[in-house]
Amino acid sequence: MAARKSAIAPTVAEDNVFEIVNAKPEHGVADPAAALKLIREDLGDCTRCKLHKQGRKQIVFGVGDPRAELMFVGEGPGADEDAQGEPFVGRAGQLLNNMIKAMGLRREGVYIANIVKCRPPGNRTPELDECETCSPFLMRQIATIKPRVIVALGATAAKNLLAMNSSLGDLRGHWYDFKPVGSDPSWPGARLAVTYHPAYLLRDPRQKGETWKDLQMVMKYLGIEPPKKAAD
């Protein structure tokens, strides 16, 4: 059985705390779809971090069910995502779709987003200042959707969400409590699990079995009946 980490991870940089606790346009909006729309409007044609001037074609906000029980969070958009304006639509996205299907779910039934919403040039890892500037908007999306489970895809997503600098190997296999600052007090928060990023699995398919173990942990918690066949 997976261990559960007791500490609630800080989820926003200190500089952003006061911005988060201040009233936001979506506060008090009961319909999560409408609230997400307000967050997207608030983001606007964002120039808050340097990624806005490093070749992005468009902002990739997030996609899926505004009431999803399960949310996947990756690192940042790649070339395909930048072109289409939707997260996880390239080869890695196809693999994520397969993983979601293998869980017995549909892509439309979950919510998918990234730590940063603009493509880092050359698909480099987003830098700390970019993550800290962009992630408050992801926190607001999470606080709106109120998922039961968040799956962090890859080390960048996991380290940023959990504010921990451990290796992916150490972060996997545990549950973490996760609740953005300023969330609805009546929401108990989400549980967060960590697994490999699909792009990494494309490079090293041997880790698919380990990824499936992580997803099975999530399925068990959500009460999803394990399908007979694993992701391929």
DSSP letters of 65-122? -TT-SEEEEES---HHHHHHTSSS-SHHHHHHHHHHHHTT--GGGSEEEESSSSPPGG
Tokens 């606007």 found at: 44
Considering the complex, state which of residue 92 and residue 118 has its C-beta at the smaller distance from ligand SF4.
Answer: 118
What does the alpha-carbon distance between residue 104 and residue 113 come to, in Å, rounded to a whole number?
A: 20
Contact map string, positions 143 to 182, toward ligand SF4, x by CB under 6 A: ----------------------------------------
**138 belongs to the binding site for ligand SF4 (CB under 6 A):** no
Interface of this chain with ligand SF4, residues 176 to 215, rule: CB under 6 A = none
Residues near 184 by Cβ (< 8 Å), separated by ≥ 6?
A: 143, 146
Q: Which stretch binds ligand SF4 (CB under 6 A): 101-109, 113-121, 141-149, 167-175?
A: 113-121
Q: What whole-number distance in Å separates Cα of residue 81 and Cα of residue 65?
A: 18
Size of the site for ligand SF4 (CB under 6 A): 14
What does the DSSP 8-state code read for residue 5? E
Site for ligand SF4 in 34-73 (CB under 6 A): 43, 46-49, 51-52, 59
Name the minimum Å distance from CB 24 to ligand SF4: 16
Dist CA 151 CA 175 (whole Å): 10
- Residue 192 parent element (H or E): strand 190-195
Interface pick for ligand SF4 out of 73, 99, 100, 116 (rule CB under 6 A): 116
**Residue placing its CB nearer to ligand SF4 in the complex, 118 or 161:** 118
Among 133, 156, 160, 195, binds ligand SF4 (CB under 6 A): 133
Site for ligand SF4 (CB under 6 A): which residue of 68, 112, 113, 134?
A: 134
Least separation in angstroms between residue 122's CB and ligand SF4 is 15
Q: Can you tell me whether residue 7 is helix, strand or coil? A: strand
- Which of 124, 226, 147, 168 minimizes the C-alpha distance to 113? 147
Span near ligand SF4 by CB under 6 A; candidates 25-33, 115-123, 153-161, 174-182: 115-123
- The backbone torsions φ and ψ at residue 172, rounded to the nearest 5 degrees and listed phi first, read -70, 160
Smallest gap from Cβ 39 to ligand SF4, in A, equals 11
Q: Which residues bind ligand SF4 (CB under 6 A)?
A: 43, 46-49, 51-52, 59, 116-118, 130, 133-134
